[in-house]
A and B are shown apart, each in its own frame.
Chain A
Amino acid sequence: MKKYTYTEKKDTRSGFGAGLHEAGKKNENVVALCADLVGSLKMDAFIKDFPERFTQVGIAEANMIGIAAGMTIGGKIPFTGTFANFSTGRVYDQIRQSVAYSNKNVKICASHAGLTLGEDGATHQILEDIGLMKMLPGMVVINPCDYNQTKAATLAIAEYEGPVYLRFGRPVIPVFTDPDQKFEIGKAWMVNEGTDVTIIATGHMVWKAIEAGEKLAELGIDAEIINIHTIKPLDDEAILKSVKKTGCVVTCEEHNKFGGLGESVARLLTTELPTPQEFVATNDTFGESGTPDQLMAKYGLDAVNIVEAVQKVIGRKK
């Protein structure tokens, strides 16, 4: 198992804030909008340096999405910012018609996704957003795994022409990816090469997959770990190549197993290479109040759950 270390912990939303600021410096057409959550979205640096390119829309997310769609007409590249719940479910039809169907170059940037939002509870902890967004034709869906990857992804989507959903979170987690990485939309990152099982993880679950990989190594299981940061378009080639070698797969996501990354992988495998698969994900449930760590444990999203899933799926191999 390749050794991953970290010297600091940061929130992925701060990676977004840093990326947005840098994208703003690189391209004067980058504009930002926020629905009364500037601090939570870490947009302060962008606003300080480019006040005329920032629009505060107030608590009116539907209007924000519509305005963002309109701003593309004339060449702007709008980044909208609010919590993941208010970025997707609340404005689904606005995104569907004014952004996705109209093919507008809007970047829907969503913080506080998943259980790790913590104490605010289920009203704010969306676990369905990946499913909602990946079903929209033409929508790119990205869920980066740490500060550096989120920053790199933010810069990459500024250069990509078309609608994008970028999902990130609130908790501080290890920063373990390369600060100078080149983010390629739709290209998986090989975290660790192995032969016994393929662990496919996205977002906050990638670090947990690394922790699980270390425990599995102690148990004599050689896990291949792949980071799928782009859930759509899915890197079919990387997944198939790995699964051909290992013969079984565990998918890990901080999302409902209905409609998430795991289902995308299952759809691919069932048509191309039927393979035993286990899901580490929430199971058709809402969240609740608690600390992020408590919630991840209660809902089965820890390294130990990945280890158990791996042991189970290896037992299902023919």
Chain B
Amino acid sequence: MKHTIKELEDIASQIRRDIVRMVHGCQSGHPGGSLGCADFFTALYFEVLNHKKEFTMDGVGEDLFFLSNGHISPVWYSTLAHAGYFDKSELATFRKLDSRLQGHPTTHEHLPGIRIASGSLGQGMSVAIGAALTKRLNGDNSYVFTLHGDGELQEGQNWEAAMFAPFHEMDRLICSVDYNGQQIDGPTKKVLSLDSLQAKFEAFGWHVINTDGNDMQSIVEGLHYAKTLTGKGKPILNLMSTQMGAGVDYMMGSHKWHGTAPNDEQLATALAQLPETLGDY
């Protein structure tokens, strides 16, 4: 381990502070899913992902990450800043005019750390497969990670990709699902049930693991374990249980904070629950 679990939890706390402050600062954005995935992003970038300090688009010889559910950009931006891709002061520009931190992530403004635009849902798995195919052609044994929303899996393109990856034995592809059971219009069970994602992906030929996405120990161990599954010819799906809004009590477990910004009072309440560990931007 590069960090202790406590150290990682401290990083995640700072990222959560950044998320609510960023969303509050522009009075728009998606705090719920961002907060729910703060532990995953921390584990990935500070413990699991083998990434280089200097960003290159081609990412040769390093692990790559693609965010398919681009609306949780605040958690990614904060993570990238704390991981050293750009100065954390830039987080203050989120969703504002002339910013590199667009509402949804993009390569268009050349923000280091981003390799594809996402926002329109369901495209990230295909892109990750492509990047993994190129790594295979180049003899580059690095891994390709992704994150998807669970509601996002209602998009059909995911299942085209889900069929492709096992057929081509893409066992260096590790996809995680933010399994919080919520989407904009309500619980996924009411909007369009995903039923058993485990059974669906296993039927498609994936190796499915289950983690608790809001338990740092669980997610770190899960992602490390996922890397050890290489060589068996199966892509890996990390079915990661999370709480939307995790870390801010009044946001937790409800779809209502999917895309709503806190007001001044709500911000203060949230920040009181999230210790400042690395210094606010």
Residues of A within 8 A of B (CB): 31, 52-53, 55, 57-58, 60, 62-76, 78, 93-94, 96-98, 101-104
Contact = CB atoms under 8 A, between A and B. Distances in A.
A98 B157 contact: no
Nearest to A101: B117
A62 B124 CA distance: 11
B130 A70 contact: yes
B116 A102 contact: yes
A73 B64 contact: yes
Interface string B53-81: 00001111000101000000000000000
Contacts of A65: 126
A67 B120 contact: no
B127 interface: yes
A50 to B, nearest CB: 11
B164 interface: yes
B165 to A, nearest CB: 10
B160 A94 contact: no
A87 to B, nearest CB: 15
A106 to B, nearest CB: 10
Interface stretch (B131-139, B227-235, B267-275): B131-139
Contacts of B118: 97
Given A63-B157, A70-B134, A93 B120 contact: yes
Nearest to B104: A97
B134 A74 contact: yes
Interface in B81-134: 106-108, 115-120, 122-134
Nearest to A103: B107
A53 B135 CA distance: 12
Interface of B: 57-60, 64, 66, 106-108, 115-120, 122-135, 137-138, 140, 156-157, 160-161, 163-164
A66 B125 contact: yes
Contacts, number: 117
Contact of A66 (B123, B137, B138): B123
Contact of A74 (B59, B120, B129): B59
B205 to A, nearest CB: 14
Contact of B157 (A31, A66, A76, A104): A66
A73 B164 contact: no
B127 A70 contact: yes
A73 B59 contact: yes
A74 B132 CA distance: 9
A72 B138 CA distance: 12
Nearest to B138: A74
B243 to A, nearest CB: 29
Given A60-B164, A62-B123, A66-B126, 11 more contacts: A62-B122, A63-B157, A63-B164, A66-B124, A69-B116, A70-B126, A70-B128, A70-B131, A70-B132, A76-B134, A101-B106
Contacts of B138: 74-75
Contact of A70 (B108, B116, B156): B116
B252 to A, nearest CB: 31
A96 B108 CA distance: 12
A117 to B, nearest CB: 24
Nearest to B155: A62
Contact of B134 (A66, A73, A93, A101): A73
Contacts of B106: 101-102
Chain A to chain B: the 8 pairs with minimum beta-carbon distance, closest first: A70-B130, A66-B126, A74-B134, A63-B160, A60-B160, A67-B130, A70-B127, A71-B130
A63 B161 contact: yes
A66 B58 contact: no
B141 to A, nearest CB: 13
6 contacts: A63-B161, A67-B161, A69-B130, A70-B129, A71-B131, A76-B134
Contacts of A52: 137
Contacts of B126: 62-67, 69-70, 94, 98
Nearest to A98: B123
Given A62-B157, A74-B59, A98 B133 contact: no
Contacts of A97: 117-120, 123
Nearest to B122: A62
A98 B164 contact: no
Nearest to A73: B131
B117 A66 contact: no
Contact of A94 (B66, B115, B123): B123
Contacts of A76: 134, 137
Nearest to B119: A97
B128 A74 contact: no
Contacts of B130: 66-73, 78
